[in-house]
Amino acid sequence: MNDYIIRAIAANDQIRAFAAVTTETVETARQDHNTSPVATAALGRLLTAGAMMGVMMKGDKDILTLQIKAGGPLEGITVTADSRGRVKGYVGNPDVCIPANSKGKLDVAGAVGVGFMNVIKDMGLKEPYVGQVVLQTSEIAEDLTYYFATSEQVPSAVGLGVLMNKDNTVRQAGGFIVQLMPFAEESTISRLEENIKKINSVTDLLEEGHTPESLLEKVLDGFDMEINDKIPTEFYCNCSRERVERALISIGRKELNEMIQEGKPIEMNCHFCNKNYEFSVEELKEILRKCK
């Protein structure tokens, strides 16, 4: 497991920053969902952001969900992360194949299309926090920058990148989120802006051998930076046969009876990791007996 996230502060706490390398995480997602290159890139960017935003949450049981609902051929993306670096996600249509964009790159914006993004934070309260923004470019990083500015009132810079190998496996994935605290001074802001301008592509930097640590050193060039935390991150789905069984119990006797009447085994699919769980008619009858 080589993927991890670092959390840092800089300029006397005026800046907080996160950076991550997520190559294995995104490659696991690609294998689980058999995603096309552009679908892998889009999902990978959102997974990388989700992993970092997950560890921003304070509670052990807090859950973050990022939902992109848009009209492009990708048919949306959903990512869920916990506060311990575990992240999972899927796209509506993993087979999307569209021509490269004008820069010759995978056309993530074209695949995502026009729409909006929901940021849902379940922090164990009665109601989850929900922030919604209209997608600005559908390239995902800019959309998250816009979300942070408008919904959370935190000026931020977000960089995300996924680079594929020729055989369509994931070569590099990672990103950063840098945020200005309300008391940030003008000089801090302008220096940070200058630094960000110099960064063209996260994947280029990863290709050059940059780590999350050295990536942040580049973004925060000229500031004193203190790394507070290094958190392993991975694509992790918590589904299990028991959970699927509990879901089947919860749908009720009537529906279960109908399934049994069909006389055929049923297959339940986990959207997040694409794992299939098969239940025979005998097993369904067993579940029906547990059903009140």
Residue numbers of the site for Zn ion (CB under 5 A)? 237, 239, 270, 272-273, 275
Nearer to Zn ion, 70 or 237 (CB): 237
Which is nearer to Zn ion, 66 or 135 (by Cβ)? 66
Q: Phi then psi for 50, rounded to 5 degrees?
A: -60, -45
Sheet holding 15-21, edge to edge: 156-164, 170-180, 15-21, 4-10, 225-232
Could you tell me the smallest distance in angstroms from the CB atom of residue 244 to Zn ion?
9
Shortest Cβ 267–Zn ion spacing (Å) = 14
What is the closest distance, in whole angstroms, from the C-beta atom of residue 5 to Zn ion in the complex? 22
Query: Among residues 16 and 88, whose Cβ is nearest to Zn ion?
Result: 88
Q: In the complex with Zn ion, which residue's Cβ is closer, 190 or 269?
A: 269
Beta strand 86-91 pairing with 234-235: parallel
How long, in residues, is the chain? Answer: 292
In angstroms, what is the minimal distance from the CB of 239 to Zn ion? Answer: 3
Contact 33, 94 (CB under 8 A): yes
Of 87 and 273, which has the nearer Cβ to Zn ion? 273
* Closest separation in Å from C-beta 237 to Zn ion: 3
DSSP labels for 45-78? HHHHHHHHHHHH--STT-EEEEEEEESSTT--EE
Cα 120 from Cα 81, distance rounded (Å): 11
